């Protein structure tokens, strides 16, 4: 984050992944993922590694031989939920003492041996760059020893591993294009839990996307903590050490987007997440050029005040951010924009809070992820600043942010009524078994009667009404 805030998708927290059956498999694993889309993509890498060892996945943790929780460390409440789930899983050992419990991902990297030694909740602790070592760690744990590997890597991208698609709908796939983060935002733990930034070979990305399309997927989301800083010059060389010639010949994010878009016009392309300081007009012009690149950008602002942005070490000012918004509106007038907003960061005054509200009024986001500031251990903010905004003030400011965004979301959604939207069918509607649900290019959910259509179909839907964030309509020719 910029995945640091986009990362929490409350609707998907704690979602168990689908069961896959492999003939002759003797052992079962249960995978549960929390937090960001990157974690869900990582779980697919884990599934691939262990399936090669003869495992199959199950959606019933009580019958699993190994239980893995892929964790998020972005906010304290996310860690609290994971701890509660681990307590629940620990009870499984009463009936199945040989079952192993493991924690994966960012929380494993942050807390390391604390899970094993102090809390005694798990048998295995594995950081985001150590998933290849899982077979050895399981073997160690089966021998009665605690197993841990949280070594961060400067090279690991898992580019050679074909993920096992464990998503629920079989239509949308997540594709990791890079790992780690170099931004060092003062409030964020991601650089400490996922290591330094490194990009993945573009040909391996194109190959994975093409295979997903050939297997029936009709949408991919390219993932990275900061996709705009993606660059490949061969061998994963860091952009800071590239010569001018290497930089000219390197594959940029805009060029990668084009390579993926050209795979097939019926393949929708999304990406997450962008960083305001790195987003270039090249990316915007590429998005505008190809119809199958969705006209939706998640551009986290965090605060509308330049002084707070400087404290956050965001690398841009309010004016810079608004310039990027103006560029999006100029190059893609029909684009939808969403954001992340933090209320009550260290030392934030009422005037600085009002700057955030005024920026929201200026941009009028389609959607936003909004949170009260939560101090995270080992971050620059914890070491350098005092978390001095009272909790009740944080909550009141957050309420004001949420109320304003709800108003803007409803306004933006209402603008889609009376228009025809090309929708990719993804799932059955949550409220009615007789309706389908999908999204348009701008990432707005559209609901309509099923008819004779199926998942993965594209349909044109005339929006006739809406809720705050959902369009309701009927299929037209």
Domain of 123: which CATH number?
Answer: 3.40.50.12160
Residues 208 and 249 in one domain: yes
| Cα–Cα distance, 223 to 177 (Å, whole number) | 6
The H or E element containing residue 284 is helix 281-289
Same domain, 272 and 289: yes
Helix axes 202-214, 253-261, angle to 10 degrees: 30
Which residue, 343, 18, 5, is CA-closest to 168?
18
| Cα-to-chain-centroid distance, residue 324 | 22
Residue 371 · residue 397 · CB < 8 Å:
no
Quote the pLDDT of residue 236: 54
Tell me: do 66 and 189 sit in the same domain.
Answer: no
Residues 6+ apart with CB under 8 A from 287: 257, 293, 295, 297, 331, 332, 335
d(CA 448, CA 61): 35
Closest by CA to 147, choosing from 192, 195, 102, is 102
Please tell me whether residues 407 and 424 are part of one structural domain: no
Contact in structure between 169 and 40 (CB atoms under 8 Å): no
Asked if 66 and 138 touch (Cβ cutoff 8 Å), the reply is yes
At 75 the pLDDT is: 75
DSSP state, residue 241: G
Cβ within 8 Å of residue 450, ≥6 positions away: 434, 435, 436
Residues in the chain, overall count? 477
For residue 166, which of 53, 57, 66, 269 has the smallest C-alpha distance?
A: 57
CATH number at residue 448: 2.40.50.140
Contact (CB, 8 A) for 359 and 304: yes
What is the residue-level pLDDT of the chain in tens, covering all 477 positions? 333 333 333 333 333 333 444 444 479 999 999 888 888 899 999 999 999 999 998 989 999 999 999 988 877 777 888 888 888 888 888 888 899 999 999 888 888 878 777 668 899 999 999 999 999 999 999 999 989 999 999 889 999 998 988 876 789 999 999 999 999 999 998 888 899 899 999 999 999 999 999 999 999 999 999 999 999 987 655 565 667 767 777 999 999 999 999 999 999 999 999 999 999 999 999 999 999 999 999 999 999 999 999 999 999 999 999 999 999 999 999 999 999 999 999 999 999 999 999 999 999 999 999 999 999 988 999 999 999 999 999 999 999 999 999 999 999 999 999 999 999 999 999 999 999 999 999 999 999 999 999 999 999 999 999 999 999 999 998
Three-state SS at 332: coil
For position 325, which CATH number holds? 3.80.30.20
Is the domain of 214 the same as that of 361? yes
Which residue, 277, 299, 407, 387, is CA-closest to 343? 387
Question: Is the pTM here over 0.75, yes or no?
Answer: yes
Q: What is the dihedral of CA 254, 445, 9, 325, to 10 degrees?
A: 40
In eight-state DSSP terms, residue 200 is: P
What pLDDT is stored for residue 15 in this prediction? 39
| In-domain check, residue 136 | yes
Q: Are residues 281 and 296 in the same domain?
A: yes
Same domain, yes or no, for 386 and 468? no
Q: How many domains does the chain have?
A: 3
DSSP state letters, 2-50 = -HHHHT--TTTTTEEPPPB--TT--EEEEEEE-SSHHHHHHHHHHHHHH
pLDDT of res. 238: 57
Closest CA to 1 of 316, 239, 307, 271: 271
Query: Quick check: is 342 in a domain?
Result: yes
In this structure, is residue 128 part of a structural domain? yes
What pLDDT is recorded for position 111? 84
Per DSSP, the residues of 42-99 read: HHHHHHHHHHTTTEEE-S-GGG-SEEEEEE--SSHHHHHHHHHHHHHHHGGGGT-TT-
At residue 37, the pLDDT reads: 86
Q: Which of 360, 246, 350 is nearest to 302 (CA)?
A: 360
Looking at the structure, tell me whether residues 233 and 352 fall in a common domain: yes
The rounded distance, in Å, linking the Cα atoms of 35 and 188 is 14
Q: Residue 167 domain-assigned?
A: no
3-state SS class at 357: helix
Domain hosting residue 35, numbered range: 3-149
Omega before residue 273 within 30° of 0, cis: yes
Does residue 327 form part of some domain? yes
* Shared-domain flag, residues 228 and 295: yes
Helix (H, G, I), strand (E, B) or coil at 105: strand
At 35, phi and psi to the nearest 5? 95, -130
CA separation for the pair 226, 276 (Å, rounded): 10
Residue 261 is predicted with a pLDDT of: 98
Q: Which of 118, 149, 180 is the last residue of a domain?
A: 149
Closest by CA position to 275, among listed 306, 295, 253, 294: 253
Choosing from 114, 149, 184, the residue where a domain stops is: 149
Quick one: 410 and 424 in the same domain? no
DSSP 138: H
Contacts 24+ apart (CB under 8 A), 360-365: 360/304, 360/401, 360/404, 360/405, 360/408, 361/404, 362/322, 362/325, 363/301, 363/322, 363/325, 363/337, 363/339, 364/408, 364/411, 364/412, 365/337, 365/338, 365/339, 365/405, 365/408, 365/409, 365/412
231 and 176 in a single domain? The answer is yes
Are 226 and 273 a contacting pair, CB within 8 Å?
yes
Helix axes 253-261, 281-289, angle to 10 degrees: 10
Same-domain pairing of 81 and 115 = yes
166 in a domain, yes or no? no
């Amino acid at each position: 984050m910029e995945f640091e805030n986009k990362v929490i998708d409350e609707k998907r927290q704690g979602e168990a992944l689908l069961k896959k059956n492999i003939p002759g498999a003797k052992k079962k694993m249960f995978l549960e993922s929390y937090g960001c889309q990157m974690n869900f993509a990582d779980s697919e890498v884990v599934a691939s590694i262990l399936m090669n060892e003869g495992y199959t996945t199950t959606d019933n943790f009580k019958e699993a031989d190994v239980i893995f929780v892929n964790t998020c460390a972005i906010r304290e409440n996310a860690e609290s939920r994971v701890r509660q789930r681990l307590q629940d899983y620990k009870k499984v050992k009463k009936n199945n003492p040989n079952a192993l419990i493991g924690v994966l991902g960012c929380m494993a990297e942050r807390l390391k041996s604390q899970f094993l030694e102090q809390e005694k909740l798990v048998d295995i602790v594995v950081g985001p760059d150590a998933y290849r070592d899982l077979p050895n760690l399981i073997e160690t744990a089966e021998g009665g020893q605690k197993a841990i590997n949280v070594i961060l890597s400067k090279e690991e991208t898992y580019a050679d591993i074909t993920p096992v698609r464990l998503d629920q709908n079989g239509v949308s796939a997540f594709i990791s294009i890079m790992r780690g983060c170099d931004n060092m935002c003062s409030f964020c733990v991601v650089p400490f839990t996922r290591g330094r930034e490194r990009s993945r070979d573009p040909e391996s990305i194109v190959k994975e996307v093409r295979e997903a399309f050939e297997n029936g997927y009709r949408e991919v989301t390219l993932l990275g903590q900061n996709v705009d800083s993606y660059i490949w010059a061969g061998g994963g060389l860091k952009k800071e050490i590239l010569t001018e010639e290497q930089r000219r010949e390197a594959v940029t994010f805009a060029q990668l987007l084009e390579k993926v878009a050209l795979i097939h016009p019926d393949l929708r392309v999304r990406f997450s997440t962008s960083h305001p300081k790195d987003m270039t007009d090249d990316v915007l012009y590429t998005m505008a050029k190809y119809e199958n690149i969705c006209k939706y950008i998640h551009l986290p602002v965090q605060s509308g005040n330049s002084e707070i942005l400087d404290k956050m070490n965001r690398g841009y000012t309010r004016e810079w951010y608004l310039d990027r918004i103006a560029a999006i509106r100029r190059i893609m007038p029909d684009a939808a924009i969403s954001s992340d907003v933090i209320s009550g960061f260290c030392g934030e005054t009422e005037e600085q809070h009002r700057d955030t509200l005024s920026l929201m009024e200026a941009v009028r986001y389609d959607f936003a992820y909004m949170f009260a500031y939560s101090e995270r251990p080992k971050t620059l903010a914890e070491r350098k600043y005092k978390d001095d905004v009272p909790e009740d003030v944080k909550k009141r400011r957050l309420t004001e942010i949420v109320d304003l965004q709800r108003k803007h979301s409803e306004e933006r959604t209402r603008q889609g009524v009376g228009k025809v939207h090309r929708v990719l069918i993804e799932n059955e509607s949550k409220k009615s078994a007789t309706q389908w649900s999908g999204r348009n290019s701008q990432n707005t959910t559209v609901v309509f009667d099923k008819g004779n259509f199926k998942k993965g179909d594209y349909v044109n839907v005339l929006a006739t009404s809406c809720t705050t964030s959902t369009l309701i309509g009927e299929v037209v020719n």
